[in-house]
């Protein structure tokens, strides 16, 4: 043991110590490296998770895969999406727009323009959810408009065809009517010429009767009777011609409108057979045999113009002398400066040679031209009808000839529920009078009975309206 050299101490290291130190150093380095690697991997994992989340926000894996399959070789997904956006923009606007907001603005402006134009159905509510819906809406509207236009064109063609047929039929009827009227007018002209000749001869006979002595009176009377008979025969012929003309006119009115309900009032009762300038007296072809009475008045009308619907004539006359077949009358008023001529027509709506005309009189009348219509006026009208051979009745039927209407009662205002019994009774009476008056007018219209107002009636009977207006007449003739 004494021979073993002791180990040296102090600054020298053995191999084991050196190896231990190296191991510790390497362990520390590896530990630090592992810590650094772990820390870097965690950061990479976090970055990868963030990148995946960001990618999911942009598009799903399936969408990325779809665009990858559509992308051209060497083209990125964003490049493919940019191509699609440019294609969509061109399909919408026709140009390769890059920005989407201007395209959206153009779409909104176009929607607003369509609304303001208002040329499609429901334009005010036009707001489609998509461009395809907008296109479909516009297409549907255009299709409906085309269908309506086609239907309208078809209807127009049919209407034009019907109008052509109706026009042709009307022209045929008008031509036939014109031919008929022309024939009747020619015959009427010939008859009037013959009648004028006989009237002239009759006037000569009348003048001769006045100048000759009583010894030739009988012979002259016979001649006058003969001429009068001839005149009556000509009057009958003329009446037939007028009836034919009236029938033709009635046919035309049936084709063109309603018949003349005033035809009965517009029929002449006779005519002037003698009228001298400056002489207030005239002679008519009516006499005692025709149920003529003294004091009866007639309205005088031009033979060429006939009797108007208003009944107003050129003058009025009053019968002053009556013979068997003729009568003399005095002109009592004139309407304007037209002279009374031989051949002029005379008429009185009340008068009839063969029967009594029936009248219904309703309302209030201002017979004194005071501006106030009274119920007393109705008695004056009825008295006039009775005096000149007519008849007044209370109810309208198919035999009624004329309805004379004055001022009707106003519709009363219903009294309140608290009104007195007297006020309620007055209202009921006034309402009844109003309803009866309206019913009379309606029934006359329904039965097409001529309705004459006060002025028309007085015109048609030859009443002296000028004297009334001047305040000179207060009673009936």
Q: pLDDT tens track of the chain, all 477 residues?
A: 445 455 545 556 688 888 888 888 888 888 888 888 888 788 888 878 877 777 666 667 777 777 667 777 777 877 777 777 777 777 777 776 656 677 777 777 877 787 777 767 666 666 666 666 777 777 777 788 788 888 888 888 888 888 888 888 888 888 888 888 888 888 888 888 887 887 787 777 777 766 665 666 677 778 778 878 887 887 678 667 757 755 665 565 454 445 566 787 888 999 999 999 889 999 999 999 999 999 999 999 999 999 998 899 999 999 999 999 999 999 999 988 889 999 999 999 999 988 899 999 999 999 888 888 998 899 999 999 999 999 999 999 989 999 999 999 999 999 999 999 999 999 999 999 999 999 999 999 988 999 999 999 999 998 876 555 554 443 333
Q: Indicate whether 79 belongs to any domain.
A: yes
| 395 belongs to a structural domain | no
User: 324 near 288, Cβ under 8 Å?
Assistant: yes
> In whole angstroms, what is the distance from residue 388 CA to residue 402 CA?
15
Compute the distance between CA of residue 33 and CA of residue 26 in angstroms, rounded to an integer. 10
Q: By the 8 A CB rule, do 273 and 199 touch?
A: yes
H helices present in 14-99, as ranges: 15-58, 61-70, 77-93
The strand order across the sheet containing 358-362 reads 391-392, 358-362, 402-405, 451-453
Whether the CB-CB separation of 351 and 296 falls below 8 Å is answered with yes
The answer to whether the beta carbons of residues 261 and 250 sit under 8 Å apart is no
Q: In the chain, how many domains are there?
A: 1
The first and second tokens of residue 21, run together, are: 């130190």
Domain annotation covers residue 108 = yes
Residue 126 has a pLDDT of 66
The answer to whether 202 touches 224, Cβ cutoff 8 Å, is: yes
Question: Is 121 a member of any domain?
Answer: yes
In a domain, 80, yes or no: yes
SS3 of residue 346 by DSSP: strand
The pLDDT, as a whole number, for residue 274 is 95
Interatomic CA distance for residues 304 and 387, integer angstroms: 31
The whole-angstrom separation of Cα 127 and Cα 118 is: 13
Element (H, E) at 334: strand 327-334
Q: In this structure, is residue 179 part of a structural domain? A: no
Three-class secondary structure of residue 169 per DSSP: helix
Whether the full predicted model's pTM is greater than 0.85, yes or no, is no
Please list, residue by residue across 193-219, b when 16 or more beta carbons sit within 10 angstroms of its beta carbon and e when fewer do: eebeebbeebbebbeeeeeeeeeeeee
Rounded CA separation 190/227 (Å):
18
Rg of the Cα atoms in the chain: 57
Taking the alpha carbons at both ends of the chain, their separation in whole angstroms is 196
Task: Note whether residue 281 is domain-resident.
Answer: no
Which residue spans within 52-200 are E strands per DSSP?
none
Domain that holds residue 92: 68-125
The rounded Cα 97 to chain-centroid distance in angstroms is 58
Amino acid 11: pLDDT: 55
Matching residue, tokens 């006060």 = 454
Distance CA 146, CA 416 (A): 61
C-beta atoms surrounding 314 within 10 Å: 20
Q: What angle do CA 118, 124, 129 make, to 5 degrees?
A: 110
> By C-alpha distance, which of 149, 225, 244, 130 is closest to 187?
244
């Amino acid at each position: 043991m004494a021979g073993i050299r002791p180990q040296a101490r102090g600054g020298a290291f053995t191999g084991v110590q050196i190896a231990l130190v190296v191991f510790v150093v390497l362990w520390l380095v590896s530990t630090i490296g592992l810590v650094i690697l772990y820390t870097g991997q965690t950061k990479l994992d976090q970055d990868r998770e963030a990148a995946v989340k960001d990618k999911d926000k942009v598009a799903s894996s399936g969408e990325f895969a779809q665009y990858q399959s559509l992308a051209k070789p060497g083209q990125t997904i964003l490049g493919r999406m940019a191509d699609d956006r440019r294609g969509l923009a061109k399909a919408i606007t026709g140009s390769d727009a890059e920005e989407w907001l201007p395209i959206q603005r153009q779409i909104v402006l176009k929607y607003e323009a369509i609304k303001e134009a208002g040329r499609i159905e429901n334009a005010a509510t036009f707001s489609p959810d998509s461009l395809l819906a907008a296109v479909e809406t516009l297409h549907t509207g255009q299709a409906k408009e085309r269908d309506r236009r086609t239907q309208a064109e078809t209807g127009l063609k049919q209407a034009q065809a019907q109008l052509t047929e109706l026009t042709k039929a009307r022209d045929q009827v008008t031509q036939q009517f014109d031919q008929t009227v022309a024939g009747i007018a020619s015959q009427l002209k010939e008859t009037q010429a013959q009648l004028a000749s006989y009237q002239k001869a009759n006037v000569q006979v009348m003048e001769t009767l006045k100048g000759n002595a009583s010894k030739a009176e009988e012979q002259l009377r016979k001649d006058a009777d003969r001429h009068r008979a001839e005149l009556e025969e000509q009057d009958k012929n003329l009446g037939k011609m007028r009836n034919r003309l009236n029938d033709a006119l009635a046919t035309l009115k049936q084709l063109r409108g309603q018949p003349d309900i005033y035809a009965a009032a517009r029929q002449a009762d006779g005519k002037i057979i003698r009228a001298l300038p400056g002489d207030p007296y005239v002679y008519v072809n009516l006499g005692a045999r025709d149920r003529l009475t003294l004091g009866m008045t007639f309205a005088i009308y031009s033979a060429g113009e006939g009797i108007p619907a208003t009944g107003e004539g050129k003058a009025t006359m009053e019968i002053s002398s009556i013979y068997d077949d003729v009568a003399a009358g005095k002109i009592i008023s004139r309407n304007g400066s037209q002279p009374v001529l031989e051949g002029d027509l005379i008429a009185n709506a009340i008068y009839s040679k063969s029967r009594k005309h029936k009248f219904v009189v309703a309302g209030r009348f201002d017979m004194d031209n005071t501006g106030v219509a009274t119920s007393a006026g109705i008695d004056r009208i009825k008295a006039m009808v009775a005096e000149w051979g007519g008849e007044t009745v209370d109810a309208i039927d198919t035999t009624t000839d004329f309805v004379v209407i004055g001022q009707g009662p106003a519709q009363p205002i219903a009294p309140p529920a608290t009104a007195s019994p007297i006020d309620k009774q007055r209202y009921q009476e006034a309402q009844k009078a109003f309803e009866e008056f309206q019913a009379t007018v309606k029934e006359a219209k329904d039965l097409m009975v001529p309705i004459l107002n006060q002025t028309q009636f007085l015109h048609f009977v030859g009443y002296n309206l000028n004297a009334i207006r001047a305040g000179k007449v207060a009673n009936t003739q």
